[in-house]
Amino acid sequence: MRYWAYLIAKLVAAVGVVWGFGVLINRLFPPDKPFKDGGPMTSYRMVAGPIILALFAIGLFWFIVWDQRYRCRTCLRRLRMPIQTGSWTHVLLGAPHTEYICTYGHGTLKVAELQITGLQQPDWEPNEDMWKELFSTEDTRRGR
Ligand SMILES: [Zn+2]
């Protein structure tokens, strides 16, 4: 829930940033004289302004989604310590993956490096309570 609320908050903030960028473009390139009054048929403002604004908006939203994908689903911190698993030469036995972990032990994200069967979404696996697991191994070592 918190994960999606954070994404929505970032998207709302991005809409504000894109709107501000649009206002800035409009101020930097004031409107030309109308064509009927001897102005140009097309102007930079009419053609390049919307393209620059669209590219900026698409890039910003792409960055937000990319950033969100590599965040912990529990604590929203960036996932760290990428580890390469699998093999490129033995794809059938274990396709190459990159695993990221939350440094606070909330879970593991597996991202497929090889996308043969279409786009595969990253697989998030939440961990059990790390301390419970540590204490259980210590208990079995003591023979309890
Ligand atoms: Zn976490």
pLDDT 10s digits, 13-66: 999 999 999 999 888 887 778 778 887 777 777 778 889 999 999 999 999 999
Q: Which residues surround ligand 1, an ion (CB under 5 A)?
A: 72, 74-75, 102, 104, 106
Domain residue spans of the chain: 2-69, 80-142
Q: Encode pLDDT of 79-107 as tens digits.
A: 999 999 988 888 888 889 999 999 998 99
- Tokens 């036995």, residue located: 93
- pLDDT of 61 reads 96
Higher local confidence (pLDDT), 133 or 20: 20
| CA 81 – ligand 1 centroid, Å | 13
Would you state the pLDDT for residue 6? 94
CA max distance for the chain: 93
Asked if 94 and 114 count as a contact pair (C-beta separation under 8 A), the reply is no
pLDDT at 144: 57
| Count of other CB atoms within 10 angstroms of residue 72 | 22
CA distance 49 to 55: 10
Rounded to the nearest angstrom, the distance between the alpha carbon of 1 and the centre of ligand 1 is 14
| pTM > 0.75: yes or no | no
